[in-house]
Amino acid sequence: MKFITIAFFLICSFLHRQPAHAQHWKEIKTVEDLNTNYPELINHLFSRIDLTYDGLDVVDSVLRQNDTIEACKLLIQYYQHNRNGSKYRKSNIPPTDISVAKADTILKNVFTIQNVKGKVPWGDDGHRDWHYKGPNNDREWAWLSNRHFQIDTVYHAYLKTGNSKYVSYIDEFLRDFIIKSQPYPEKWGTDAIWRGLEVSYRNKYWTSIFYGTINNDLISDATKLLLLSSLPDHAHYSRHFHAKKNNWLTMELSGLAVIAAHFPEFKGADEWLDYAIDKMGKSITEQVYPDGVQKELSSHYHYVTIDNFEQFKSTCEIAGKALPEFYHETLQKMYNYLAQSIRPNGYGVLNNDSDLDYNFERLEKANQKYDIPNWKHLHKHTDKYISNPDEVSFIFPWAGQFISRNHYGIDAHWSFFDIGPWGTGHQHKDKLHLSVAAFGKDFLVDSGRFAYTGAVAKKFRKYAQSSAGHNTLLIDGQGQAPGPKETENPLSALHYKITDVYDYAWGSFDQFDDLEGTAEHQRTMLYVRDEFWIITDRVVSDQPRSIETLWHWHPEHQIQVKDQIVSTNNSGGNLAIIPVNNQDFEISNISGAETPNIQGWYSSEYNKFRPNTTTIYKTTVRDAQPLVWILYPFKGEKNELKAKIKKIDKNGVYLKIKTNNDHFDIYVPYTDSNKVDFKKK
């Protein structure tokens, strides 16, 4: 008897702790079900709709007669038959039993977020745990899973196959989420559910799914009404609690515009769209330098911003709203940056917080809209990739990014040299970093971004952001401190020069973490087209300095050392790092180190990483003594380049260089493009 009493008490206590409707949400499918269990959501829905809007007069009339059930049914009919959302509406999809493996995995509540797979558990309240952080306890996992890309994937599987199981999952998924997400907090936050970026993504995915399934009986009337009740809250969040700048602002306001344009019946929709147009017009000017580079100076987030500016442009076109001409011109400049900085293999720059993004297809799609002559895509990765083959190297003087190449073929030489500001977001301490590719391969690389939060970030984030993860210098073991976030002026012509036979650029940096005394690192790059790169590193300091010059290799390469020359050992093309000074170097090659410091790791994509080799040349320098390097791409196994320093003066270095076929006499000035002296014999 005592056991029965205790058990009864525990059961009652458990039931008392449950939300009032938790046991019912899966059965809530009809208008009547929703009105019985959540009348407050229906009242909220009608309070946010302008019932004087054309076509809603019948709904208004019935609602005035207190027939809420009929008003809800008429509202659904209104959305089934009006012309809004025509972009998203779908005809009947022929039913099949065909399955899509990726979508089927999602049906098991197994989501892959930034390359990490996790199964979302069910909570004690009968709902999915929408705050679940994935197997690595990573809050980014929770945030991104609440953007609802997974139901977009399932939705497209339905459009492809007509398999009803996919729509049934979407129906149940959305009911679960919207009911669990109540009440809307009406304030800014960083919660897994109510955070600005997550809201903005749901604005877009939900709008697409709502109109794409509005006439589909497999989506319950309750789910349709729940979407209509929650979307105004999403718009309210995006309107009042959006970020103030950078790519977040762009994403959030593009999401607000989607709701405003496709649900004009919502109270405030006109004001939302006008507000977004005003803010986005100002934002594109504030976010993007005159040379077309987004100020975070990350190739990845540059594209994220373009994509959202483009989405916003398309939304305004649907709404019949004109954007100013400078908006369109800036978009073209932003695409121009992607076209001119693209690697020979079609991928973008890996810099700051970026992934190796395949930009070629994005540019081909953009060119269908803009038809820009100077990046006309004619053949994939050929010398006709850009219509003017004489223009192969580019400077972005505001961003401080210099792209060198010899042609547009897949086996072209290509380099990226960073001589600009730190960036307004997603920054790495990597000024004067140099990346190099040739023969269809990446050779010298940026280490990547690894992850922002969770176990991977705990291990690698500091390394990813530090100078130690880049091809630059450590001075007395210290890396760079944060630099100026943005610039008010472009680089002067003294910083760079592009000619038919060579490219020249230089930059400097003088802020280092915990460094005693003063030190300024000056780096100069001179690329001889079709031949090699010359790099000079000069540390101007008040005392002798221990210098570590770092060169990070792509993981695919095997590295060998011979007579202080470090090179790859491939059957095809190779790259050699040739120190020209008669300098005593301590050379080490480090791969996959975790102690005493992280070194020799590479991440081409978020949450993906593997060991690579970092070559470190360590020496001591005095009196602004320059270190001179030649980066020599060559085919075969033998490096045939010979080089020596003829003279060093206070302004630069004279070099004599011999290859198999040519002799070069070159004067490389440290800081003045006008003083380059180039002779080829």
Instruction: Read off the pLDDT of residues 418-455 as tens digits, 9 standing for 90 and up.
Output: 999 999 999 999 999 999 999 999 999 999 999 999 99
Whether 548 shows a pLDDT value over 90: the answer reads: yes
Burial group, residue 12, by CB count within 10 angstroms (0-12, 13-18, 19+): exposed
Task: Note down the domain range covering 406.
Answer: 392-644
Q: Dihedral angle at the C-alpha atoms of 39, 43, 45, 50, nearest 10 degrees?
A: 160
Q: pLDDT at position 534, please?
A: 98
3-state SS of 199-232 is HHHHHHHHHHHHHHHCCCCCCCHHHHHHHHHHHH
Strand partners, 410: none
**Of all residues in the chain, what percent carry a pLDDT higher than 70?**
94
Residue length of the chain: 681
Neighbours of 410 (CB within 10 A): 16
Alpha helices in 241-293 (DSSP H): 246-262, 269-287
**Cα–Cα nearest to 354, from 274, 235, 285, 445:** 445
Contact residues for 441 (Cβ-Cβ < 8 A; gap 6+): 554, 556, 557, 570, 572, 573
In a domain, 498, yes or no: yes
561-572: per-residue pLDDT in tens?
A: 999 999 999 988
In a domain, 499, yes or no: yes
- The amino acid sitting at 128 is R
**Cα–Cα nearest to 344, from 115, 573, 558, 524:** 573
Q: pLDDT at position 91, please?
A: 86
Q: pLDDT at position 11, please?
A: 42
Q: pLDDT at position 15, please?
A: 38
3-state SS of 506-526 is EEEECCECCCCCCEEEEEEEE
3-state SS of 648-672 is ECCCEEEEEEECCCCEEEEEEECCC
Neighbours of 294 (CB within 10 A): 28
Strand partners, 82: none
**Of all residues in the chain, what percent carry a pLDDT higher than 90?**
88
- What is the domain count for the chain? 1
Nearest-angstrom CA–CA distance, 676 and 681: 16
Confidence band, pLDDT 50/70/90 cuts, at residue 5: very low
Structure tokens, 40: 């407050």
Average confidence (pLDDT) over 13-27: 54
Q: How far is CA 547 from CA 474, 553, 624, in A?
A: 6, 19, 12
CATH number of the domain at 533, please. 2.70.98.70
DSSP string, 450-503: --SSHHHHHHHHHHHHSGGGSSSEEETTB-BPP--S--SSPPPGGGEEE-SSEE
505-524: per-residue pLDDT in tens?
A: 999 999 999 999 999 999 99
In a domain, 384, yes or no: no
Whether 17 shows a pLDDT value over 50: the answer reads: no
Q: pLDDT at position 379, please?
A: 40
Q: pLDDT at position 602, please?
A: 98
Q: pLDDT at position 572, please?
A: 84
647-673: per-residue pLDDT in tens?
A: 999 999 999 999 988 999 999 999 999
In a domain, 398, yes or no: yes
Whether 489 shows a pLDDT value over 90: the answer reads: yes
In a domain, 286, yes or no: no
**Cα–Cα nearest to 521, from 481, 472, 470, 559:** 472
Whether 253 shows a pLDDT value over 80: the answer reads: yes
Angle at 486 between CA 546 and CA 463, to 5 degrees: 45
In a domain, 574, yes or no: yes
Quick check: 63 and 130 in contact, CB under 8 A? no
228-248: per-residue pLDDT in tens?
A: 999 999 999 999 999 998 899
Strand (E) or helix (H) holding 535: strand 532-541
Whether 21 shows a pLDDT value over 70: the answer reads: no
Neighbours of 680 (CB within 10 A): 13
Query: What integer best gives the mean pLDDT of the chain?
Result: 93
Whether 96 shows a pLDDT value over 60: the answer reads: yes
- Residue 142 DSSP one-character state: H
Nearest-angstrom CA–CA distance, 89 and 91: 7
Strand partners, 117: 112
- Residue 355 DSSP one-character state: -
205-236: per-residue pLDDT in tens?
A: 999 999 999 999 999 999 999 999 999 999 99
Whether 325 shows a pLDDT value over 90: the answer reads: yes
Nearest-angstrom CA–CA distance, 436 and 518: 30
Q: pLDDT at position 391, please?
A: 83
Q: How far is CA 555 from CA 288, 297, 418, 586, in A?
A: 33, 25, 22, 22
Nearest-angstrom CA–CA distance, 605 and 659: 37
Nearest-angstrom CA–CA distance, 112 and 131: 15
Nearest-angstrom CA–CA distance, 127 and 123: 6
The pair phi, psi for residue 576, each rounded to 5°, is -115, 140
Whether 121 shows a pLDDT value over 70: the answer reads: yes
In a domain, 235, yes or no: no
In a domain, 566, yes or no: yes
Average confidence (pLDDT) over 588-616: 97
Nearest-angstrom CA–CA distance, 273 and 264: 10
